[in-house]
Amino acid sequence: MSNIINNFKSWTSLLPPFSFTNFVEVIIISIIVYEILLWIKNTRAWTLLKGILVILAFTFFSAVFHLDTILWILERISYIAVTALVIIFQPELRKALESLGSQSVFSSLTSAIGRQDTDRTMSKEAASQISKAVYEMARVKTGALIVIEQTESLDEFVKTGITINGQVSSGLLINIFEKNTPLHDGAVIMRGDTVVAATCYLPLSDNMSISKDLGTRHRAALGISEVTDSLTIVVSEETGRVSIAYRGRLTRLTDAGALEKVLINRINKAEVSFFGKNRRNEAANA
């Protein structure tokens, strides 16, 4: 036993001295790293970061197998990589700095410690309420745009709207999108069974192959589906048609049962499979 203690003492003696200042530095660095990772997770930077990780993995693969030509190309590209990253992340970096300047350090630390992952699970009852509201609005040709958050955070879009944080119901959704009411313009963003915010602004799709017959509401549905993994329901104000946007594709749904099935598939974490033969892809042709 004494030998074990002596060996442990001799091993610890090789470690550098750890003072109170070092402890404070570790805490500060840990909080900074946590905030950076949280910022990446809550913005589109997470998607871009995954792309960068793929490039790094490819670089490692090239180094292991001595692919000298590819390594030479990657080395030349790396010279401008930092500048390119600053340009790519410019909107997110600006928002992060503005957020840092608008709050105190202590409130930021408190919120960082108390923050927890949000439950994005939707119940079957919520799926039924959404389907009921959507097709009731479609019947009277009330335009609607409902974005359902999946694994990627929509916080940056939630901030552009008005906070609701209410339990979803068909009545609530119908009242929000009622014509000539303060909340009807813009998108509703949902997280699980909760209507998080209304009147939210969404990015418009730049896809030139989209039919000219599709309006701003449909382009916004496609736009948010291109930059996140969200599921977006759109009701046309002109025709009353119901469509759903996912991964840059817009598909028309024929009835409430079809919509509820799609939502339940997402509840069960199944792959969205609504691009069947009996449903029409509207992205190229309205």
CATH class belonging to 124-267: alpha beta
Which of 32-46, 161-175, 206-220 is predicted least confidently?
32-46
pLDDT higher than threshold 50 for residue 253: yes
Q: What is the structure's pLDDT at 14?
A: 60
Dihedral of CA atoms 178, 182, 186, 191 in degrees, nearest 10, equals -80
Region for residue 186 given its phi and psi (left: phi exceeds 0; alpha: psi -120 to 50; beta: otherwise) = left
β-strands 242-246, 144-148: how paired? unpaired
pLDDT higher than threshold 90 for residue 195: yes
pLDDT higher than threshold 60 for residue 202: yes
Q: What is the structure's pLDDT at 166?
A: 92
Q: How far apart are CA 163 and CA 170, in angstroms?
A: 18
Which of 12-21, 150-159, 202-211 is predicted least confidently?
12-21
Q: How far apart are CA 183 and CA 198, in angstroms?
A: 6
- Which residue spans of the chain are classified as CATH 3.40.1700.10? 124-267
Q: How far apart are CA 237 and CA 197, in angstroms?
A: 21
The pTM for the full model equals 0.65
What is the rounded average pLDDT for all residues in the chain?
79
Q: Of 282, 208, 209, which Cα lies nearest the Cα of 245? A: 282
Average pLDDT over residues 37-41: 69
CB 232 within 8 A of CB 246: yes
Q: What is the structure's pLDDT at 229?
A: 84
- Buried-exposed string 27-49: b where 16+ CB fall within 10 A, e elsewhere: eeeeeeeebeeebbebbbbbeee
The confidence band for 115, taking pLDDT boundaries of 50, 70 and 90, is very low
Average pLDDT over residues 217-238: 91
| Between 20 and 237, residue with greater pLDDT | 237
Q: What is the structure's pLDDT at 273?
A: 44
Q: What is the structure's pLDDT at 35?
A: 74
Which of 61-65, 232-236, 265-269 is predicted least confidently?
265-269
pLDDT higher than threshold 50 for residue 239: yes
In percent, how much of the chain has pLDDT > 70?
A: 72
- Residues contacting 203, CB < 8 A, separation 6+: 220, 223, 224, 226, 227
pLDDT higher than threshold 60 for residue 270: no
Q: What is the structure's pLDDT at 224?
A: 92
pLDDT higher than threshold 70 for residue 34: yes
pLDDT, tens digit (0-9, with 9 covering 90-100), for 122-144: 888 999 999 999 999 999 999 99
pLDDT higher than threshold 50 for residue 280: no
Dihedral of CA atoms 114, 47, 75, 68 in degrees, nearest 10, equals 120
Q: What is the structure's pLDDT at 177?
A: 94
Which of 47-56, 67-76, 265-274 is predicted least confidently?
265-274
